[in-house]
Amino acid sequence: MHYCYHDTPIGRLLLAGDNDSLRLIAFPEGAMRRSPEPGWTHSPGAFREARRQLSQYFSGQRKTFDLELRPDGTPFQLRVLKELEQIPYGATASYGEVAKRIGRPGAARAVGAANGRNPLPIVIPCHRVVGSDGRLTGFGGGIATKQALLQLEQGQAG
């Protein structure tokens, strides 16, 4: 795995993957904070396109991503991640709504667990999933980061 860092308004993100695809975006804080693993290669010039698109997103110039991604997960987790990509920029959906959309209406908690294991946050927008009452609930980068991402989108939506 190759990795590099990308400075953003929410902190320094760790990007990692192989030569062809991005496999991980990790936050600098919160439960999803990660460090490079032994054997990973620091490649400061890696993921140029991903860094460009992330910079465009944070400057309000990009609402969707067009990157080669390779997230790991169970078939259920990957199905949830695919559904998260359908939540429009500036919008939110509840865990229960996502569960219904994938044909598993009773699986809101399992959707929450899959959402929490998203290896590619921001690009696969798990921050757009909220509690059934609209409250911001757990987020791997911390609630303040989730709030900042939603505020960015809501300020730029339209």
Which residues are marked as active site?
A: 126
Per-residue burial over 16-43, b = 16 or more CB atoms within 10 Å of its CB, e = otherwise: bbeeeebbbbbbbebebeeebeeeeeee
* Alpha carbon distance 69, 24 (integer Å): 9
- DSSP class of residue 114 equals H
Whether 89 and 63 have beta carbons less than 8 Å apart is answered as yes
Beta-sheet pairing, 2-8 with 41-42: parallel
Alpha-carbon gap, residue 27 to 12, rounded angstroms: 7
